[in-house]
């Protein structure tokens, strides 16, 4: 491919380094005092989401330089390339058309869109039959539980969506198994009745080691419970391209839904991989989920840079990673239903952008994807928030806050909202040595003791955060939220000049695992590893005797 200028070669890069020096020790409170309109200016809204990024170490001139950087990097061209089917995944020579999965029209991709429509229609029939209690198992019992067996994007996305939309669920319970550790599957099966349980095997190749191992164990469980081989089709569905392997397993073609190579696993919840979600909440709600994502797609594609939510969030990521050397990014959803959201984002962001070379193979001279982590509020306030407020690491934070609750516990939700807003403000204002001293003296400490203890209560403040709000967490806003972070991740990849759609770093570990598995099974005793790995293999073998 044609070499593009690296981010560090663009004119705006030098200007941003100068802005960062000026703003490194800026007072966020001072920035607010200097601009009475800051709280309104540094905001943007789309698809039911509102982004407040006013509490960032960012001036109007620095923001202008970031927008210049996006223009110089050709981000808008890259956005069009994504939607029009260009081979943005250059190392695997294919497009990344996950947006087509939630689109309401082909937009120039009519042949592929027709495939999507056909798959969507078949998916709807399967989902509705289970959702309405019309699907029965080998004994005639209605299916009441569905277990999705997959890993990575075939697990994290549907697991998150099903949990997040729990208030909208029907009577069928959906469960998720991903770990090859047998305890994961066995614990899930412990209280279920085989006669009323169905499985979805999600594996494009139908050869994914962990998924196939769990699938075979589930198959044996079903056979041991009394089902015959001929009756497995009543209990097993698959999302795969390997129809022969599925057929050999006992899943007929009519029970299989497709996966396409132009959809990466971490972007696949919008496809048939989301079948379990559609079963859990029903097709109408799942359609609302797709529509919310499509609304964000249209905003991303058509909005000007200065009000484009995914681009603005991407520019903030670039700003802190490169110019402030922030190696962490924290996502804190203040809604228990979104407790799996940081897990989902870890794969989306770090598998996409955890790269050290450009799309054309050049080693980069700047930092790329930060480590992403977080948990649902307010639990983190009693553990890692200590580091956010007083630690030595700079960790930009995204707070995610639905303004209304699906529960009737208004007072508890009021407490939750207060805590979220308080954490964002505390990160910004901190507490000075003088304030800490005065607070201790008000508690009754004398001046000397207060002076001794006060440094431990100081919080430097000026720690950046965004607040993303929505009226409520529903299928539409959830779809928009996931699409927002997908597009933010892609924009960051464009700016960093990397390919966000391959994951070669996953491959070598799989290859070595196969070699070690051969040694553990005694079929590859001739090969050796490093001395430490050989010793650990021997320890495992000795423990089996």
DSSP-assigned states of every residue in 452-468: HHGGGG-B-----EEEE
Give residue 545's pLDDT. 81
CA 240, CA 226: separation in Å to the nearest integer? 27
> What is the predicted pLDDT for the residue at 524?
76
Identify whether the C-beta of residue 148 lies closer than 8 Å to the C-beta of residue 184.
Answer: no
Predicted pLDDT at 483: 98
Predicted pLDDT at 523: 84
β-pair partners for 401: 469
Q: pLDDT tens digits for 382-419?
A: 999 999 999 999 999 999 999 999 999 999 999 999 99
Which of the following is catalytic: 77, 449, 510, 538? 510
Measured between alpha carbons, how far is 142 from 132 in angstroms, rounded to an integer? 10
- What three-state secondary structure class fits 200? strand
Q: Side by side, which strands form the sheet with 43-46?
A: 43-46, 49-52, 465-470, 397-402, 328-333, 371-373
Examine the residue annotation and report whether 510 is marked as an active-site residue of this protein.
Answer: yes
Specify whether the CB–CB gap between 270 and 98 falls below 8 A: yes
Catalytic (active site) residue 166:
no
Q: How far apart are CA 112 and CA 99, in angstroms?
A: 12
Angle at CA of residue 252, ends 123 and 161, nearest 5°: 30
What pLDDT is attached to residue 2?
Answer: 58
pLDDT digits (tens), the chain, 545 positions: 457 899 999 999 999 999 999 999 899 999 999 999 999 999 999 999 999 999 999 999 999 999 999 999 999 999 999 999 999 999 999 999 999 999 999 989 999 999 999 999 999 999 999 999 999 999 999 999 999 999 999 999 999 999 999 999 999 999 999 999 999 999 999 999 999 999 999 999 999 999 999 999 999 999 999 999 999 999 999 999 999 999 999 999 999 999 999 999 999 999 999 999 999 999 999 999 999 999 999 999 999 999 999 999 999 999 999 999 999 999 999 999 999 999 999 999 999 999 999 999 999 999 999 999 999 989 999 999 999 999 999 999 999 999 999 999 999 999 999 999 999 999 999 999 999 999 999 999 999 999 999 999 999 999 999 999 999 999 999 999 999 999 999 999 999 999 999 999 988 998 899 899 999 988 877 667 899 999 999 999 999 98
Token couple for 77: 């061209």
In what helix (H) or strand (E) does residue 20 lie, and over which residues does it extend? helix 11-23
CATH class of the structural domain 7-72+303-408+474-496: alpha beta
382 catalytically annotated:
yes
Burial class from Cβ neighbours inside 10 Å (0-12, 13-18, 19+) for residue 107 reads middle
CATH no. for 98-288? 3.40.50.10490
If one counts every other C-beta atom within 10 angstroms of the C-beta of residue 525, the result is 9
Considering the entire predicted model, what is its pTM? 0.96
> pLDDT at position 333, please?
98
Residues 6+ apart with CB under 8 A from 18: none
pLDDT at 3: 72
Q: Of the residues 210, 288, 351, 486, which is catalytic?
A: 351
- Cβ atoms of 263 and 98 within 8 Å: the answer is yes
Residues 6+ apart with CB under 8 A from 308: 44, 299, 300
Catalytic residue among 382, 408, 442, 456: 382
């Amino acid at each position: 491919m044609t070499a593009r200028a690296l981010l560090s070669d663009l004119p705006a890069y030098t200007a941003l380094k100068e802005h960062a020096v000026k703003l490194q020790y800026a007072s966020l409170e001072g920035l607010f005092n200097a601009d009475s309109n800051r709280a309104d200016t540094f905001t943007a809204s789309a698809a039911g989401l509102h982004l407040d990024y006013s509490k960032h170490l960012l001036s109007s001139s620095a923001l202008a330089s970031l927008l210049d950087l996006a223009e110089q990097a050709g981000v808008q061209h890259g956005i069009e390339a994504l939607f029009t089917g260009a081979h943005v995944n250059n190392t695997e020579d294919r497009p990344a058309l996950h947006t087509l999965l939630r689109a309401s029209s082909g937009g120039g991709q009519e042949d592929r869109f027709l495939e999507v429509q056909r798959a969507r229609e078949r998916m709807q029939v399967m989902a509705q039959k289970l959702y309405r209690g019309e699907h029965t198992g080998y004994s005639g019992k209605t299916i009441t539980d569905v277990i999705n067996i997959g890993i990575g994007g075939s697990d994290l996305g549907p697991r998150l969506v099903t949990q997040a939309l729990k208030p909208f669920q029907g009577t069928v319970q959906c469960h998720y198994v991903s770990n090859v550790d047998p305890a994961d599957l066995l614990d899930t099966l412990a209280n279920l009745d085989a006669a009323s349980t169905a499985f979805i095997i999600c594996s494009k190749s139908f050869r994914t080691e962990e998924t196939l191992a769990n699938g075979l164990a589930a198959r044996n469980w079903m056979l041991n419970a009394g089902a015959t081989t001929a009756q497995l089709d009543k209990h097993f569905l698959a999302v795969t391209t390997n129809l022969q392997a599925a057929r050999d397993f006992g899943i007929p073609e009519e029970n299989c839904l497709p996966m396409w190579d132009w959809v990466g696993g971490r972007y696949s919840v919008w496809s048939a991989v989301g079948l379990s979600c559609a079963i859990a909440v029903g097709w109408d709600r799942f359609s609302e989920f797709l529509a919310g994502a499509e609304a964000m797609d249209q905003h991303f594609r058509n909005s000007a840079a200065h009000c484009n939510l995914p681009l603005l969030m991407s520019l903030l990521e670039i700003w802190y990673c490169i110019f402030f050397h922030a190696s962490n990014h924290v996502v804190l959803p203040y809604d228990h239903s979104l407790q799996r959201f940081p897990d989902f984002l870890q794969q989306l962001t770090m598998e996409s952008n955890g790269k050290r070379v450009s799309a054309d193979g050049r080693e980069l001279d700047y930092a790329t994807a930060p480590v992403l982590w977080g948990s649902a509020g307010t639990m983190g306030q009693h553990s890692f928030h200590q580091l956010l407020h007083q630690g030595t690491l700079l960790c930009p934070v995204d707070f995610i806050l639905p303004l209304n609750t699906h529960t009737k516990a208004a007072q508890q939700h009021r407490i939750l909202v207060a805590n979220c807003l308080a954490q964002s403000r505390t990160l910004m204002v901190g507490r000075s040595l003088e304030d800490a001293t005065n607070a201790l003296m008000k508690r009754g400490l004398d001046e000397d003791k207060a002076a001794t203890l006060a440094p431990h209560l100081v919080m430097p403040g000026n720690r950046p955060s965004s607040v993303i709000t929505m009226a409520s967490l529903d299928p539409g806003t959830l779809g928009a939220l996931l699409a927002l972070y997908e597009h933010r991740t892609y924009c960051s990849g464009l700016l960093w000049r990397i390919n966000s759609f391959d994951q070669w770093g996953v491959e070598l570990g799989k290859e070595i695992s196969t070699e070690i598995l051969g040694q553990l099974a005694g079929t590859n005793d001739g090969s050796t590893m490093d001395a430490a790995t050989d010793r650990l293999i021997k320890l495992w073998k000795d423990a089996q005797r």
